[in-house]
Structure 1
Amino acid sequence: MKIAMFGVTGNVGSVLLEQALDAGHDVEVLVRSPGKLATRSPHLSITEGDACDAAAVESVVAGTDAVLSTLGGFRGPESLSVGTAAIMGAMARHSVRRIVIMQGFHLHIEGDPRNVGKRLIGPIMKTVAPAIVRHAAIMGKAVGESDLDWTIVRAPRVIAGGPTGHMRTGMLKIGPWSTVTCGDVASLMLECLTSDRFVGDAPMIAS
């Protein structure tokens, strides 16, 4: 596939990029600081720009088959809402249907299990990063109401490490103490991208 990727200089994004290239995909990426991107490949095309710049986003999405986004919002929470809106707009104009997004499990989805961990993470995130919570909610609503073939992979605290081979997915009872490796998140996102698994769904993941 030819994949457009956003957020590739982050912990998960960099691993996801490596996995996508190792799987034989051609990848178009948008990065604000290309010098921070260590990966180089003849199958990788790099565009300098910001995810909130609709024109830059469109130049990366045009001609691709699908989109992967690990925009986290810590370097600018508006990238979650404004950036994702720009991505979806470009997808609509270029008839790209499939998008897989990573987000934290603080993002509430109707039907989430009620448990202590879920109740704890909301107040914690609203105290530590209220703007991220707000922009993530805007993004989640927009994606959920779109007609795209979307998946939002929701993760707890991400730690270094490759695929474990025993990740858990679905509507999980996880909390602030839960963790997931970068490799597990990347593996699930790629699996979703190349299949119809979790289309129109927002599974949680934990290692």
Structure 2
Amino acid sequence: MKITIFGATGRVGNEVLQRTLAEGHEVKVLVRSLEKLPAHPNLQKIKGDVKNFEDTVQAMEQADAVISAIGTDKSTTLSEGVPNIIRAMEQLNVKRIVTIGTAGILDSRAERGKLRFQSSESKRKLTFAAEEHAKAFRALEASDLDWTIACPTYLPDGSAIGVYRTERNMLPLNGEKITVGDTAHFVYKELFQNEFKHSRVGLAY
């Protein structure tokens, strides 16, 4: 399969990249610094910015599917980049996308009609990152794409063990953490299994 990955230099994005290359897929990545990723015969690196539509289209040409692991990083890259990705996918007739979100944009158990970051379930005082992820979610929700948003809770470094809980649109009860490795494991698996199309997915042990 030909896969385009955005955010491939981040923690989860890089784990997903390594997994896709190890499985023999052809991968394109859009990065601002080419030297951040090593050379690989199945990896095509394109220098650019997801906030630039032309760069986004170039990265996605001939792709069968897209993975986005764009972070917030105290910027609007996510909320500006995801609409570009959606528009490029529509233009190029690419349907499948799996993205990385945050548990803050899952539905609240405590307050119906609210997202977790808007409710009493959230312990965070700063909501900028969650608001960025919420904008990306709403943009995907309004599209005709086959989208899935993986929403891990606290995300420490760690390898994949392949055993964790998932729940559609909510965080598994009493879920407290999931490693970077297992989040990448879910993203890669879901890209092909299509179990959670048009859903956010809470991830936790």
Q: Give the structure-2-normalised TM-score.
A: 0.89
> In the alignment, does 2:68 pair up with 1:72?
no
* Aligned-partner SS, 1:204: strand
Corresponding position of 2:199: 201
Identity of aligned residues (%): 32
Provide the residue aligned with 2:135 in structure 1: 138
Q: Give the aligned partner of residue 39 of structure 2.
A: 40
Amino acid at match of 1:27: V
Give distance in 1, aligned partners of 2:4 and 2:74.
20
Residue 174 of structure 1, CA deviation: 4.3
Is there any run of 5+ residues in structure 1 with no aligned partner, and where?
none
Partner of 1:81: 79
Q: How far apart, in 1, do the equivalents of 2:183 and 2:193 lie?
A: 16
Equivalent residue number for residue 50 of structure 1: 49
Question: Are the structure 2 counterparts of residues 121 and 24 from structure 1 closer, same or farther at C-alpha, using a change threshold of 3 Å?
Answer: farther
**Structure 2 Cα separation of the partners of residues 23 and 75 of structure 1:** 33
What is the CA–CA distance in structure 1 between the aligned matches of 2:191 and 2:93, rounded to whole Å?
16
Partner residue in 1 for 2:59: 60
**Which residue of the partner structure matches residue 114 of structure 1?**
110
Deviation at 1:123, TM superposition (A): 5.2
The residue identity in structure 2 corresponding to 1:145 is A
Is the CA contact 1:156–1:174 (under 8 Å) kept in the aligned structure 2? no
Q: Structure 1: how far apart are the matches of 2:54 and 2:24?
A: 27
Distance 1:145 1:185 in 2: 25
CA apart distance, 1:181: 1.0
Counterpart Cα distance in 2 of 1:121 and 1:80: 24
1:183 corresponds to which of 161, 181, 184: 181
Q: 1:6 is matched with which residue?
A: 6
2-structure distance, mates of 1:33, 1:159: 25
8 Å CA contact retained: 2:105, 2:133: yes
Distance 1:75 1:11 in 2: 16
Q: Hey, what's the Cα distance between the residues in 1 that align with 2:157 and 2:130?
A: 24
* Other structure's SS at 2:181 match: helix
Q: How far apart, in 1, do the equivalents of 2:60 and 2:42 lie?
A: 15
Deviation at 1:122, TM superposition (A): 3.4
Secondary structure at the counterpart of residue 67 of structure 2: strand
Gap runs ≥5 in structure 2 = none
Q: How many residues align?
A: 196
1:22 paired residue number = 22
* Separation in 1, partners of 2:180, 2:85: 23
How far 1:79 sits from its partner (Å)?
1.6
